[in-house]
Structure 1
Amino acid sequence: MTSTKKQRLIGVDVARGLALIGMMAIHILPEADDNFEPTLSWTLFAGRSAGLFALLAGVSLTFTSGGRTPLKGRPLTAAKWALAVRALIIMSIGLLIALLNPPAAIILAYYGMLFLMAIPLLGFGPRVLAAAALGFAVLGPIFMQAVRGSLPTLDGYDPSFATLVTDPAATISDLFVGGSYPAIPWMAYICAGLALGRLDLRSHALQVRMAVGGLGLATGSWLLSELLLGPFGGRTHLLESTPWMGAKGIRDVQIWGPDSWAPDPTLPTTSGWWLTILSPYSSTPLELLNTIGIAVMVLGAVLLVASKAATAFMPLATMGGMTLTLYSAHLVALSTGFLLDRPGVAMAMHTFAAALFAVIWRNVTAGKQGPLEGLVSRASNRARQRVLGSGVPAAKPGNPAADSLPGPAPEPKHNAREGAVTSAGTDRPGGAQ
């Protein structure tokens, strides 16, 4: 029982569309209600939408590096150079948008750093990648907490071209360990996505295992956090290490995130017990594992459902096919402050505008990539082609390897000549990315 390639790709695009809407909701809608309790949008999407985005980025990387069979030799080298170019362009877009200072944490520069860190991993199979995901999830936060106190920081500001010039050390430090989406612990999402992408995502049985296994991982990590903070005395230790916070403060940190009560936007370093909380965006081991579990569950469920109702999900899938363009436009619109005093109306307008643009662009351009996706694709394909040489046909414009943020692409086909790679056509909404 397998789904078709078309169905699989639509499912991944739908998941990306959901992640995009979730991140918009976190940026626009209020965190708390009139009773100072978390809103439904915060409860559903805080940390989870960004985590799903990052996991899907890892999935996308496998489609440009051999799919289920990792590339080797010169084709692998070409894929690495293409990814390096892709990473630098996406990072540059993020650093440029940050100059506008939108009221949101911008993930693009961190994505670029994550992609650069993923380059050495492109040649590995699912077992090594799954082990790497576990290693980054457990050891990454420990390393982050150990070194962050001694490193410079941007004090909550997003990395931008301005900070790269005026304070390069703090900018690099934030990209790796101190910012909103620190690359070292967040590599857990990329590695998990890479591991999934090396499997047969067309398999109905795998989709079911992803949905069930993801739910199990999310539940297990939540239960372990509750045990460590409760019966094992974690909350008591945190109160002793930060007496100024109080019991309610500890609770609120778990619900809202470290920036709500801590003296800075990052996780406090006063006690190792902070690493046991599940606070959104805290990048603790259990929060990373919990969010990975939820992301895997959502992806598995969406793959199952989208294969049965592809037409119904086409608007979401179309949005998911050009998330780099839509996410960037969303941030630019946020920077104007337009209608942000009416969050419900603003959220509706951002969502409607994104869907409308995606559908119109898809139909007017006969399924070509979004504007920024096309820019990234052309540049990364040129880098790939320079390594492969003139003997291998380049990907057709509008149908290149995956260079959107993040997303699937046609799995490369091996040429009999020296294992060279060409890009196969794809049957996804809006054409290839």
Structure 2
Amino acid sequence: MTAAPGSAARLQGLDAARGLAVIGMMAAHTWPRAGDGAELLVDGRPSVLFAVVAGLALGVVTGGERPVDSGGRRARSRLALRAVLLLLAGLLLWMLPSGIAIILDAYGVMFLLLLPLLLAPRWLLAATAAGFLVLAPLVRDQVVAVTGAGPTGPTRAPDGAAVLLDWLLTGYYPALLWLPLLLVGLLCARSGLHRARVRVLMLGLGAAACLAGYGAAAVLPGVEAAAHSGTTAELLGAGGLAIAVVGGALLLLDSPRVPRAVTALGTPVAALGRVALSVYVGHVLVIALLEPLGPAGFFEPAVGIPLLVVLTAAGIALGVACDRLRRRGPLEAALSGLVDLALPRGGSARLGA
């Protein structure tokens, strides 16, 4: 979905934001908790950052502020196939006894929903994002009130209709509710991520949206912004935080006037971000293998914190090794290989890059 390691067009800040998202999700699955149901800062927000970065990355590989459809139908088909493969990978991971709410299948569904708007003008992206931000949570609430549906995980849902409902509206990562996150990321990419003014606006407006969402939940009765609540306030708060993080990362890691010592601090996290799929799947497999310890064991300091350190260090080591060898991550390469096998690249296709 992004340029090859070492490409001049690659944005370190974008990779670092993706790396932070993966580390945050691993922390949510391992960090000690004060008690049952206690919410941590890393609950929900890293997965929102992951979704926002997805929209940004799709915008970058489709031409940035000057989108082009140079690959035509074949390039769109390649991107759709990637989405389907992610969906299938997510379903397989749901079958493991990890106790983790897998995001990859929902991620694939979000990609498919985004395809029709991939090359839309900025005004349409903004209007669609605003509409879904307000209306989708209302529709979800009505559906839940009528059906009593709630997050179950695709492999545990009783039938196909329930799986679809889980993906679109009632799951942990409901695609229709989260579509504004990808659209805002795409909108930022269309505005020109290489522009300092755009990065500053992302930082400032993202922080303002974060304050508005979480502030509304703090002072207004009946407004909720808890992780995975799927309310407008949560999406605004967590989405704004994600945009601010990306804007800040771009300012710190992709600005020529920033000292190299500062940019060097983000290099390991950016390296992890370039192998995000491999690291995410790897941490699910590790936790599933350790499941005999008991799910609660991962929330004990003696288990959870060392496990998070090991997983993060291993992810960074994998990313650095792949950078040195100028190769993609193992699963990133496998995904691209499968797409190439099914739909060989056209001469100038970009959407399937």
TM-score (norm: length of structure 1) = 0.71
1:361 alignment counterpart = 322
Write the letter of the residue equivalent to 2:15. Answer: D
Question: Does the CA-based 8 Å contact 1:93-1:108 persist in structure 2?
Answer: yes
- Of 316-325 and 79-88, more deviation after overlay is shown by 79-88
Alpha-carbon distance between aligned partners in 2 of 1:81 and 1:293, rounded to the nearest angstrom: 31
CA separation of 1:394 and 1:208: change in aligned 2, threshold 3 A: closer
The answer on 1:158 being equivalent to 2:153 is yes
Aligned partner of 2:333 in structure 1 is 374
RMSD: 2.5
Alignment equivalent of 1:121, drawn from 117, 121, 127: 117
Q: Which moved more, 1:323-332 or 1:338-347?
A: 338-347
SS at match of 2:154: coil
Unaligned runs of 5+ in 2: 1-6
Structure 2 partner of 1:71: 68
Distance 1:378 1:85, change over 3 A: same
After TM superposition, list the pairs within 5 Å mapping 1:179-198 onto structure 2.
179-198=171-190
Larger radius of gyration: 1
Partner of 1:89: 85
Partner of 1:226: 218
Aligned to 1:422: none
Aligned counterpart for 1:344 among listed residues 302, 305, 312: 305
> Matched residues in 1 for 2:8 and 2:250: separation?
11
Equivalent residue in structure 2 for 1:32, among 25, 31, 34: 34
Amino acid at match of 1:158: G
Give matches, 1:28-427, under 5 Å: 28-32=30-34, 38=38, 42-43=40-41, 45-72=42-69, 75-151=71-147, 153=149, 156-160=151-155, 163=156, 167-229=159-221, 234=222, 276-307=223-254, 308=258, 309-337=262-290, 340=298, 341=300, 342-363=303-324, 366-381=325-340, 385=344, 388=346, 392=347, 401-402=352-353
> Would you tell me which structure has more helix in proportion to its own residues?
2
3-state SS of paired residue (1:202): coil
Return the offset for 1:293: 0.8
Q: Cα offset for 1:102?
A: 0.9
2:72 and 2:349 in contact (8 A); partners too: no
Aligned equivalents of 2:75, 2:315: Cα separation in 1: 30
Q: Secondary structure, in 3 states, of the residue corresponding to 2:100?
A: coil
283 and 118 in structure 1: CA distance in 2 versus 1, 3 angstrom threshold: same
* Deviation at residue 68 of structure 1 after TM alignment: 1.5
CA distance in 1, matches of 2:141, 2:310: 39
Gap change, CA 1:151 and 1:77, over 3 Å in 2: farther
Residue identity opposite 1:351 in structure 2: T
Give a deviation string over 1:332-366, Cα, whole Å, max 9, x none.
11111267351111111111121122222332xx2
- Cα displacement string for residues 50-78 of structure 1 (whole angstroms, at most 9, x for unaligned residues): 11000001111113323222334x73433
Shift in alpha-carbon separation, 1:385–1:357, aligned structure 2, 3 A: closer
The match for 1:12 is 14
SS at match of 1:105: coil
Q: What residue number does 1:430 align with?
A: none
Could you tell me how far 1:179 is from its partner in structure 2? Answer: 1.0
The 8 Å contact of residues 218 and 289 in structure 1, kept in 2 or not, is answered as: yes
Task: State the shift of 1:25 in Å.
Answer: 0.4
Q: Find the aligned partners of 1:368 and 1:8 in 2 and give their Cα distance.
A: 14
CA 1:334–1:71 in 2, change beyond 3 Å: closer, same or farther?
same
Question: Following TM superposition, by how much is the alpha carbon of 1:101 offset from its aligned partner in structure 2, in angstroms?
Answer: 2.5
Indicate if the aligned counterparts of 2:152 and 2:166 stay in contact, CA closer than 8 A: no
State the identity as a percent.
32
Kindly state the Cα deviation for residue 132 of structure 1 after the two structures are TM-superposed: 1.5
Cα separation, 2, equivalents of 1:354 and 1:190? 25
Give 1:371 shift.
Answer: 1.5
CA apart distance, 1:37: 9.5
CA distance in 1, matches of 2:38, 2:266: 29
Distance, in Å, in 2 between the alignment partners of 1:132 and 1:23 is 28
Q: Distance in 2 between matches of 1:130 and 1:143?
A: 20
Deviations 1:183-206 (A, max 9, x none): 110111111111111121011121
| 8 Å contact kept, 2:79–2:352 | no
Q: 1:228 to 1:76 in 2, by over 3 A?
A: farther
| Cα pair 2:59 2:118 within 8 Å, conserved | yes
**Structure 1, unpaired ranges of 5+:** 235-275, 403-433
